[in-house]
Structures are given as C-alpha cells and as structure tokens.
Amino acid sequence: MRHVMRIVTVASLLLWCFACSATLKPERPKSVSGGTRFLVSASAAKSVSLVGSFNGWSPSAHRMEPVGSNGLWSVVVPLPEGEHAFMYLIDGTRWIAPPLAQDFVTDGFGNTNGIVVVR
C-alpha cells in the first residue's frame, strides 16, 4: 500500500509541475514579489544570463534558471526605480535582444537593447 501511495504522490507532483510549466510562456519583464521577473525562451541553451545596465553587463551577475521542460529560463532581480537597458546572453557567446521588452534602444555597437521601466 505504501508503494502505491508513493506512486500516486509522485504522479500528482509530476502532473502539477507539468501544468505549471505549461502555463508559463515568454513575457515582458514583470514586477513580482522580490523584484522584476525576466522570462525568456531559449530551448537549446545550456546557460542563459540576464545582462544589463543594472549589473555592469556582467554575464555572471544574474544567471537564469530553467523553468520546467519547455525551454523557458527565469530570474527575479531587485531593481531600483528607473529605466534599465538589458539583453540575454545565451551559452556565454550569443547576445540576443529581448523579444518582449517594454521599449528598445540601440547601443551604438550595432545591437538593440531592451528597456525595462521600474516604477
């Protein structure tokens, strides 16, 4: 009986995790408890970092974590009020402009940075 209960519990947890990850999709940076949540789709990535004006464009300051199994990556960052430029760094080599930023600005080096506005 204990064995059956474990299987039911594990199956329930897996179903819940699948349901939670299935409802998440890429979105604009969003204010959440603890800061601003950044969520991006990068299904083939081995690592994703959030880089921006708020962390000196450091690839190691805000490493993102995979969310579920559908290729989404997320991080919550406490940001001060104001406008902040940002990009995503995939596998330490590929810089991508955020597809769902609030606004965009060119950086003078041929790249387009996203803008997140924190109020």
Q: Is residue 79 part of a domain?
A: yes
The count of other CB atoms within 10 Å of the CB of residue 109 is 7
| CATH at residue 92 | 2.60.40.10
The count of other CB atoms within 10 Å of the CB of residue 32 is 9
Q: Is residue 13 part of a domain?
A: no
The model's pLDDT over 81-111, given as tens digits with 9 standing for 90+, comes to: 999 999 999 999 999 999 999 999 998 888 8
Q: Is residue 1 part of a domain?
A: no
Q: Which residue has the higher pLDDT, 7 or 78?
A: 78
Q: Is residue 59 part of a domain?
A: yes
For the entire predicted model, the pTM comes to 0.77
Q: Which residue has the higher pLDDT, 13 or 64?
A: 64
Domain interval for residue 58: 26-118
Q: How sure is the predictor about 1, in pLDDT bands with cuts at 50, 70 and 90? A: very low
89 Cα distance to chain centroid: 11
The model's pLDDT over 2-38, given as tens digits with 9 standing for 90+, comes to: 443 333 333 333 333 444 444 567 789 999 999 999 9
Report the pLDDT averaged over residues 42-68.
96
Q: Is residue 99 part of a domain?
A: yes
> Into how many domains does the chain fold?
1
Contact criterion met (CB below 8 Å) for 88 and 51: yes
CA distance 104 to 70: 26
DSSP string, 69-81: TTTEEEEEE---S
